[in-house]
Amino acid sequence: MTALLTSPLFDVHTHHPEKTTAEAGGIPSHSFVASGFNRESNEEVIAFSRAHGCLFSLGIGPQEIQRTEKYPDLEGAISEVEKQLAGVHADPALSRRFVAVGEVGLDKHWGKTTEDRERQFFAFERMISLAGKLGRPLVIHSRDAENECFRQLHAAHCEKVIMHCFGGKLEEAKRCADAGWLISIPPQANSERKKIIKALGISSLVIESDAPYIGKMSADALKSAEMISRYKEMKLEDVLGATAGNARNFFCIGSDAR
Ligand SMILES: [Zn+2]
C-alpha cells in the first residue's frame, strides 16, 4: 500500500533517524524530526543532521535530569545543555534545521519522589525559557503529568507546543487543542487514544514514530496515520497530507525540507 501513496509522511518525533527514504518503504516524501533528550543524544542528532541534513530538536528530558547519580550538579548539567543549544542556534549551517526545543517536560511515572519532581520542574522551567529566547517551539514529553505540564506551559504563555506521544485523557487533550497546541499520535492503539482521535479535529493532530521505542523506524509513523484514517473515516492520503501540513506550519518549514 505504501508504494502507491503520493502524500508526504511527516514523523514529528524519532530517536532513530535513517539515512534514506528507501528505508521508508517507497514513501515519496518522508520528513522527520530527530529528537535529542540529553547532551549525548543531542550531539548524535546534531552529527546526523550535519551529515544527512535532517530536521532536529534538542533538549533534556525529565526522565534524564532526575538521575542524581549522573547529574549530581543539576545547575551545571542544565547550563551545559543550554550552551549546547545556544551554540547550534548561532551556527548558520545548523540553525535552520534546529526546529524545536524538546524533548523536555515532566514524568511522574519515573519521577516518584519530591526531589525527582523538583529537579524535573526546575529543568523544564529553564528549557521553556530557553525556547522563548531562541524563538523555538516546544516538543513535550509528559507521562502521568499532563495537568502539571499544561499548568507550567500555560503560565509561561507558550503558544507553540507539540504534546509528543500524548498519553493523557480526552479532556486533557481537548484543553491542549483549545490552546492551539498539537497532539502527536504514536503507532500504538488504546481506547483513550481512539476517543482523542475521534474527538479532535485533524488540524490538532500530527503523527510520530517515537522510534525505536514505539515504532521500529521512522516510517512506522505511517501506522499512526492509518489509525487516524480508520477512526476518523478519512482517506489515508488526506490524513498524511493534513498532518504533514500541520507539522510544516508548526515548525515553519517549506515543503522541500527533509
Ligand atoms: Zn521520545
In a domain, 99, yes or no: yes
Number of alpha carbons in the 13 Å side-chain half-sphere of residue 192: 11
In which residue are the cell numbers 533538549 written? Answer: 59
- On whether residue 4 sits in a domain, the answer given is no
pLDDT at residue number 19: 72
Rounded Cα distance between 77 and 71, Å, is 6
Q: What are phi and psi of 148, to 5 degrees?
A: -65, -45
Classify residue 79: in a domain, yes or no: yes
Q: How far is the CA of 91 from the centre of ligand 1 (A)?
A: 25
Q: Let me know if residue 238 belongs to a domain.
A: yes
Tell me the β-bridge partners of 10. 31
145 backbone dihedrals φ, ψ, rounded to 5°: -145, 30
Q: How far is the centre of ligand 1, averaged over its atoms, from the C-alpha of 14 (Å)?
A: 6
Whether residue 40 is preceded by a cis peptide bond, meaning omega within 30 degrees of 0, is no
CATH number at residue 177: 3.20.20.140
- Quote the ligand 1 centre to 248 CA distance (angstroms): 19
Contact (Cβ atoms closer than 8 angstroms) between residue 161 and residue 105: no
Interval 112-134: pLDDT, tens: 999 999 999 999 999 999 999 99
* Reported confidence tier of residue 2, pLDDT bands at 50, 70, 90: very low
Q: Is 82 within a domain?
A: yes
- Domain span at residue 45? 10-19+27-248
Query: Could you give the maximum distance between any two Cα atoms of the chain, in Å?
Result: 52
Residue 31 is assigned to a structural domain of this protein? yes
Q: What total of structural domains would you count in the chain?
A: 1
Considering the domain boundaries, does residue 254 fall inside one? no
Q: How far is the CA of 13 from the centre of ligand 1 (A)?
A: 6
Could you read off the pLDDT of 50-81 as tens digits, one per residue?
A: 999 999 999 999 999 999 999 999 999 999 99
Mean pLDDT of 247-252: 96
**Distance in angstroms (rounded) separating the CA atoms of residues 112 and 109:** 7
Predicted local distance difference test score (pLDDT) of residue 29 = 82
256 within a domain of the structure (yes/no): no
How does pLDDT run across 159-191, given as a tens digit for each residue? 999 999 999 999 999 999 999 999 999 999 999
Say how many C-beta atoms besides its own lie within 10 A of residue 80's C-beta: 14
Q: How far is the CA of 5 from the centre of ligand 1 (A)?
A: 26
Q: What is the pLDDT of residue 25?
A: 56
**Cα–Cα dist 100/157, whole Å:** 16
Question: In the chain, how many H helices and how many E strands?
Answer: 10, 8
